[in-house]
Structure 1
């Protein structure tokens, strides 16, 4: 594997946040009379920008959302983050041992990803190397965001590895001509049917991260 850059998705990859996001979204919607199932959220919301998520909800409910819906959702979400948000196990060891550059490319809004990285102590690993769907015309599954990240990082897409946890993210990586791996260590993928993705590399945990991209670790284990 010839890799010059690793692009990490944020939610569900760097942090175990997708189950939290799903619970909060379903709860906030229930208070305005819109009932969604976890399966609908998984299929139509995970890995997508908030405008895309909102459009899916409006189409499903056949009604408009309150003007302050996004604000309500984010306020509740950040409250849950304060007590429940965790970095995915073993990630910090991987980031501290990477021997190639890395960055973040996420469908989250700049305020959300900024808050996420700051709260979890991940900001120091990425600095300003954070790219969001707000910077491109088309979000995932279009390749625009990943191509922007590679361009800004001065990397060849063909020598770039994307770590994703959602269908739209994986599709975006393939469309960008990049090497792609599914991170399946998030709680939202526990027990999930991964047969549709069996032809790609699956990281069941960060212990499965390609060792050739890591420096040696003193204890011989990923913490």
Structure 2
């Protein structure tokens, strides 16, 4: 049987946003006196909710994400997205070819998810099945968000397949009892050393082009 639900992460899977997001975050943090390398940023922020990022910054760097910092980060990020954000190549065609129920489950806030999908032309493929970490108590790597999506759409977690680029997301999928496909084709894959990090978590398959996704999911069925 084919999967009952395919759950897509958004950033780095549907939209090629991770290099933009990290650039903005590191710039704002540096202006606040917290200088991090690109490698540190990917290692500690990739795929994680803003709450998890804030906890790490407070614990490891003594930096509090104040309302002013968050507002500046948000303003710059959404402006960059409106101007520069692109979809992952071939993702719309791959989703259409699946002919399966799909949804989005992202660590980002709901308005950012919808903006990302709108400017890249992907929103009609998912609306209204969009789930944000703001809807659950614990973001990725906890399984809460994926379990919420499955429960809301009436699908057994064992019948779900998650498409993720981040170790946090793949960990969440495993904790939710779901199969996973690791995607390592975003612009951030090389600077984040993504393939190696994804391989460590041994998902059912790893792809670097969305054109391969339909065949991979048929194989999982």
Instruction: Provide TM-score, normalisation by structure 1.
Output: 0.90
SS of structure 2 residue aligned to 1:209: helix
Q: How many residues align?
A: 214
Q: Which deviates further from its counterpart, 86-95 or 38-47?
A: 38-47
CA contact (8 A) 1:170 1:180 kept: yes
| Structure 2 counterpart of 1:197 | 198
Deviation sequence 1:152-204 (CA, Å, 0-9, x none): 11111111110000011000001111110101010101362523533321011
Q: Which protein is richer in helix relative to its size?
A: 2
Task: Return the offset for 1:57.
Answer: 1.8
Q: Are the aligned partners of 2:97 and 2:214 in contact in 1 as well (CA < 8 Å)?
A: no
What is the CA-CA distance between 1:120 and the residue it aligns to?
1.3
1:86 CA drift (Å):
0.4
Q: Is the 8 A contact 2:15 2:86 kept in 1?
A: yes
CA RMSD of superposed structures (Å): 1.7
4+ residue runs of structure 1 moved beyond 4 angstroms?
none
Alignment of 1:1-223 (within 5 A): 2-190=2-190, 192=193, 194-198=195-199, 199-200=202-203, 201-211=205-215
Partners of 2:150 and 2:122 lie apart in 1 by 20
Secondary structure of 1:16's counterpart equals: coil
2:167–2:197 Cα contact (<8 Å) kept: no
The residue aligned with 1:220 is: none
Task: Report the Cα offset of residue 81 of structure 1.
Answer: 1.1
Distance across 2 between alignment mates of 1:12 and 1:194: 13
Q: TM-score, normalised by structure 2?
A: 0.91
Could you tell me whether the CA contact under 8 Å between 2:34 and 2:63 is conserved in 1? no
Report the equivalent of 1:217: none
Structure 1 gaps, min length 5: 215-223
- Structure of larger gyration radius: 1
